[in-house]
Amino acid sequence: MNEFQYIHVLLVEDEIGDAHLVKSALKKNKEITFDVTWVESLSLAIQALSENDFDVMLLDLSLSDSDGLKTVEIARKMAGNLPIVVLTGRSDTDFALTALKAGANDYMVKGDCGFDGLTRVIRYTLLRVEMETHNKLLVAALNAAANAIVITNKDGYIKWINPAFSRLTGYSEQESLGKRPSDLVKSGVQDLRFYQEMWEKLLAGEHWRGEIINKHKDGELYHEELSIAPVKNSVGDIVNFIGIKEDISERKALEEKLQKLANTDSLTGLFNRRVFLERLKQESERIVRLGGFAALLMLDLDFFKQINDTYGHATGDEALRQFSKIVRNHSRSIDVPARLGGEEFAILLPSTNQHDAEVVAERLCQEVSEIAIEHSKGIVKMTVSIGGALISADNSDGELALSHADNALYHAKKTGRNKICWFEE
C-alpha cells in the first residue's frame, strides 16, 4: 500500500441499496482510489478472501448467513489480520465497544456514510492498524533482544522489562514492575557520588553510558555495561528512561585473566619483572614529590641449582611456589613482591624504614628455613639470602637502589648465605 493512495475494499453487505451508497461515497473521493469488491454474505466473503488481497473489510452485521456480534467473530477468524470496519445502523456507544472487543477495528453508523466520513474512518483504521503492527514488531524485537532492556517513568519506577532483563537479574516481570532498578540490583559497590553524577547527566537530558557492578537476585555480583537514554515528550519534558543492560562478566573475567598473565609470574603468582620496575619507578617519583622513604629487598634462594639438579625441576618449582607463598603472606597490600627471574626475587616496601624491613627479612629467613619438601631421595630443605637498601628523598634513584640491594645480596651470599645484609654507602 502506497500511503493509502490505492485501497482495495471488501464490502460485505446484503442490502443492495446500502451497498450502492457505500460504493458511491467512496467513488467521490478524489485523493484515493477505492477498488470495491462487493459480496452479500460471509460465505461469499470467504471465497473472495481466498482469491484476492484486500486492505480493509467493511462489514454489515445483519447478513443472510450471520447476524449480530457473531458476524464480527466469524469475520475476524476468517480475515486474519485484515482490518474490519463494522457498518451498523446503531449509534449505541456500548454496542460499538462490544463490537471492537469482538474483533472489529472500528465502526461507522450507516446514516453517517458521507464520502468524507467513511474515507476518514477507513484511513484512520488502516493507519492505526499499521502503527499497531509496527509497535508489535518493535515489542517483538525488544523481547527477542539478547540485551536486557528496561523502561521506567520519569521517577525511575519500572514500567516495562524484556525477558533478557529477568534472565540477567533473576527478577520476574511481576517482581520488577513498580520498583526502581536500584531496589532490585544495587550492589553497594559504587558509591553515592557515582549515582549522583549519573542522575545529574540524565536529568539534564543527556545520554549516560558506563560500567557498573550489580547484584543478581541470588546475591551474586556481575559486571554490566549500562546505557540509559531519557525520552522526552513534544514539549521537551522527560517522561521516561530506557536502559539497555549487557552482562559483561565473562569479558571482565577474561580481561582480568589477561591482565594477570601480563603482570604476574605464571609459576609463583607474584608480580613479574616489568611490573616491579614500573612500581619501583612510581614509588621513586612519589618520594621525590612528597618525601618519605621506602625499603627494597633482594632475595635469592641458596643453592637452588643443586635442588634442581639433585631432585628435579618439579621439586625446584615446588620450592619456588612454597617460597613465594611465604613472601605473599608477609606482604602488605601496598607492598610489591616480584619474581625477577629464576630463583631471584624482590620486595618493594613503601613507607618502610630499615629496621622494619629487617624485621620482615628475618621472618622470611626463619620461615623459609622451616620449609620441608618430601622427595624419594630425602627431605628437601632450603635457605634464602637477602640484601636490602633504602630509597629516600636524598637518594631517590630506584634503579640505583635496586643495584645497591643486589650488591648487599651478593655480599650476603659471599659471606656464608642464609643471612641478611644491608647496603651501606
**To the nearest whole number, what is the mean pLDDT of the chain?**
91
pLDDT tens digits, residue range 134-190?
888 888 988 999 999 999 999 999 999 999 999 999 999 999 999 999 999 999 999
pLDDT tens digits, residue range 262-307?
889 989 999 999 999 999 999 999 999 988 999 999 999 999 999 9
pLDDT tens digits, residue range 22-35?
898 888 888 889 99
pLDDT more than 90, % of the chain: 70
pLDDT at 2: 47
Range 148-248 has CATH code 3.30.450.20: yes
Q: Domain spans of the chain?
A: 6-141, 148-248, 264-422
pLDDT at 88: 81
Please state which of the four CATH numbers 3.40.50.2300, 3.40.47.10, 3.30.70.3150, 3.30.360.10 is assigned to the domain occupying 6-141. 3.40.50.2300
**Residue 243 confidence (pLDDT) above 70:** yes
pLDDT tens digits, residue range 318-350?
999 999 999 999 999 999 999 999 999 999 999
Averaged pLDDT, 40-48: 93
pLDDT more than 70, % of the chain: 97
Range 264-422 has CATH code 1.25.40.10: no
pLDDT tens digits, residue range 180-229?
999 999 999 999 999 999 999 999 999 999 999 999 999 999 999 999 99
Of the CA atoms within 13 Å of residue 153, those in its CB half-sphere come to 6
